[in-house]
Structure 1
Amino acid sequence: MQCVMNMLMIKLCFFLVIVAKLCNGFYPPICERIECPNYELIESGKDYEIRLYDSPMWMSTAPIDDISMYSASRTGFFRLFDYIQGKNSYKETIEMTAPVLTQVKPSDGPFCASSFVVSFYIPKKNQPNPPPAKGLHLQKWGKTYVAVRQFGGFATDDNVPKEAAALSASIAGTKWAAAIEKSQAKDNTTMYTKAAYNSPFEFKNRVNEIWFTFDLDKSSAI
């Protein structure tokens, strides 16, 4: 009888853990070790999530023109790494966070340079007065909706555009797709963002995401 009760308790605990994850959204394992921005999970669909981020703050590079997303991400990452190591106006060190974002504005042709902006999430304790730095600028989001697709392994110049296309296909025909198209039309551009959660030296449990950021007007609000 005691064994049966123990098994029931184990199953109940497992169920509660699953429910908690469904309610709170999926955070990559690294977010248990370093700070990540909070979000509200709005919808979990087939191969996508819709999240609502509430006013996160990012330190961002100027646009980097390159034919390679990998090369641009690396360049931007090391500029931001110098920033958190104290290469800023306050000579202040800042804790590493996740994810590191690379916003991609694709070029018009296969041999033309695309434009990339790499961003680092500012920890909450630094948000009241983030150190400025030459060549970097601060971005503060309002309430921002994000359509998200997760994928593992290393993000490359080859697989990132394919994952972005897969996210677009997953949300095609939904009200989210219409809202994303409207937001991009307003900015007169087509953009997506790669979110990287792991250092290049981590080979297990790698998590990457493709993000489409967008706004919802009052008629579409939840």
Structure 2
Amino acid sequence: MVWAPLGMLLVAFAMAAEATVGPCDDTTHGTETKECLHFTTICSGEEYEVRSYDNTKWISAVEESYFMDMAITRAFWKLFKYIQGNNAAGLKIDMTSPVVIKTKDTTSMWTSSKYKVSFLLPSAFQDGAQEPPAPKDGSVFFEETPAMKLYVRSYGGWLMGLTSRTNARDLRMALQKAGASFVKGSHYDVGYDSPMKMTERHNEAWYAVEGDHVCPK
């Protein structure tokens, strides 16, 4: 099976997290799934934190719409159908967290934009010992991200178009103020909670580190 790189998110680096995917705990932010994406916090402050991640495998789908929420919903259900058994083996696969959405920085309600939604594959498929079943939907595909560093801003509430743009903008401004270099043009909206969770929700905005990371002051 061939794994493609996950867009401009990827910045290789020497440090790696202890595990790619594993049980959720207080540090991984997931509360509704068995497994979460693990990371190592390099440094943190009031406006953002810097994290390192190991290489990770995902399943993704891309949808285009004038409205972020509509595109995300369509892509999400394609991926959800895959883990519910719409795959070559008819295998049901556990949901994981977070869900990651690649979003252009310049989206607006006046122009159509593409959004890539990615589900984290469970640990059973991460080390290469077991291959995930092929999707039946031809628009659903596998990807792999190598080890990377990310600038991260956390926030609560619901991940929607306005909150996405606002928090990505606030993270950009904080990074520019700190003199940090990051990959521009798109960011990653990250959600950890199902729609059924009403309180204490956790979301994030991610930008990939470019060059040496800069810790918040």
TM-score with structure 2 setting the length:
0.78
Structure 2 CA distance for partners of 1:173 and 1:158, relative to 1, 3 Å: closer
Equivalent residue in structure 2 for 1:214, among 190, 209, 213: 209
What residue number does 2:15 align with? none
What residue number does 2:56 align with? 56
- Where 2:174 maps in the other structure, the secondary structure is helix
- Where 1:200 maps in the other structure, the secondary structure is coil
What residue number does 1:172 align with? 176
User: In 1, distance between residues paired with 2:151 and 2:64?
Assistant: 25
The offset of 1:46, in angstroms, is: 2.2
User: In 1, distance between residues paired with 2:53 and 2:170?
Assistant: 22
Query: Runs of 5+ in structure 1 lacking a partner?
Result: 1-23, 185-189
Whether the 8 Å contact between 2:30 and 2:36 is mirrored in structure 1 is no
Structure 2 CA distance for partners of 1:25 and 1:212, relative to 1, 3 Å: farther
Counting helix residues as a fraction of each chain, which structure ranks higher?
A: 1
What residue number does 1:67 align with? 66
The offset of 1:170, in angstroms, is: 1.7
Q: Which has the higher contact order (CA 8 A, sep 6+)?
A: 2
| Misfit runs of 4+, over 4 Å | 106-110
Whether the 8 Å contact between 1:195 and 1:210 is mirrored in structure 2 is yes
The answer to whether residue 190 in structure 2 is matched with residue 195 in structure 1 is yes
What residue number does 2:165 align with? 161
Equivalent residue in structure 2 for 1:143, among 147, 165, 168: 147
C-alpha RMSD of the superposition: 2.2
Q: Percent identity?
A: 27
Whether the 8 Å contact between 1:107 and 1:115 is mirrored in structure 2 is no
Deviations 1:43-86 (A, max 9, x none): 1022211111110111011x311111111111111111001001
Whether the 8 Å contact between 1:48 and 1:170 is mirrored in structure 2 is yes
User: In 2, distance between residues paired with 1:156 and 1:169?
Assistant: 20
Amino acid of the residue matched to residue 85 of structure 2? G
Larger Rg: 1
1:94-173 equivalence runs, <5 A: 94-107=93-106, 110-127=109-126, 128=128, 129-133=131-135, 134-173=138-177
Structure 2 CA distance for partners of 1:169 and 1:25, relative to 1, 3 Å: farther
User: In 2, distance between residues paired with 1:196 and 1:145?
Assistant: 18
Deviations 1:64-112 (A, max 9, x none): 1111111111111111100100101221111110011111124576411
Whether the 8 Å contact between 1:106 and 1:114 is mirrored in structure 2 is no
Whether the 8 Å contact between 2:191 and 2:204 is mirrored in structure 1 is yes
Whether the 8 Å contact between 1:106 and 1:115 is mirrored in structure 2 is no
Structure 2 CA distance for partners of 1:28 and 1:130, relative to 1, 3 Å: same
Greater shift in the superposed pair: 148-157 or 104-113: 104-113
